[in-house]
Amino acid sequence: QVQLVQSGAEVKKPGASMKVSCKTSGYSFTGYFMHWVRQAPGQGLEWMGWINPNSGGTSYAQKFQGRVTMTRDTSISTAYMELSRLRSDDTAIYYCARGDFDYWGQGTLVTVSS
Amino acid sequence: DVVMTQSPLSLPVTLGQPASISCRSSQSLVHSDGNTYVNWFQQRPGQSPRRLIYEVSNRDSGVPDRFSGSESGTDFTLKISRVEAEDVGVYYCMQGTHWPWTFGQGTKVEI
């Protein structure tokens, strides 16, 4: 069965960077784009960007350009999302979601606090 | 960016009664390939979002048939024919026709 398993919760200081992983199984990793979506506490869903695991090509929402980097390791069917220069308003649950958003990871809570 | 405006933002429902959520897009969501990429998601408390409906009206596998999606121009609707207790949560519409992908604000459904 298709599974997306994300890395565990993190606490970061303002100005630091974070990197969340999304390990996949049960399907062809290179056959589907991977999206990243975040959700601030008590708020709605916000699309951050996607990566094409086959080519490594990426597309980032304008809001995150310059701060976000999405990568992948096809040998272990894992996608990564790195966000730099963290601010307190980056505190959120970060989700990976396959292709057409049909499968989602369990989410990774990242707390940014001094 | 395409704005997806949901209404209502809060929806008190009665078990066994129908419920309806509206999502209006700021522009046409018909893609150049002829498809309309509108999804509906359910997010139960403490869980990841779950896709219910894709391309306006196609129900995902395992989704009860009491859920249905429809469209009229730039207005999209998610209907629950008879609300059950497990339907409590927040529902989001999302468009994937135009970059960037955008979500509605969410509609909280509560008994």
Contact check, Cβ <8 Å, A107/B48: yes
Quick: pLDDT tens for A70-103: 999 999 999 999 999 999 999 999 999 999 999 9
Confidence of residue B100 (pLDDT cuts 50, 70, 90): very high
Q: Do B94 and A35 touch (CB under 8 A)?
A: no
- Tens digits of residue pLDDT in B24-79: 999 999 999 999 999 999 999 999 999 999 999 999 999 999 999 999 999 999 99
A36: helix, coil or strand?
strand
Chain B, nearest residue to A106 by Cα: B48
Mutate to test the interface with B, among A47, A58, A98, A109 (most CBs of B within 10 A): A47
pLDDT digits (tens, 9 = 90+) for A30-76: 999 999 999 999 999 999 999 999 999 999 999 999 999 999 999 99
CB neighbours of B39 closer than 8 A, spacing ≥ 6?
Answer: A100, A101, B51, B53, B54, B55, B93, B94, B96
Nearest chain B CA: its distance from A47 CA (Å): 6
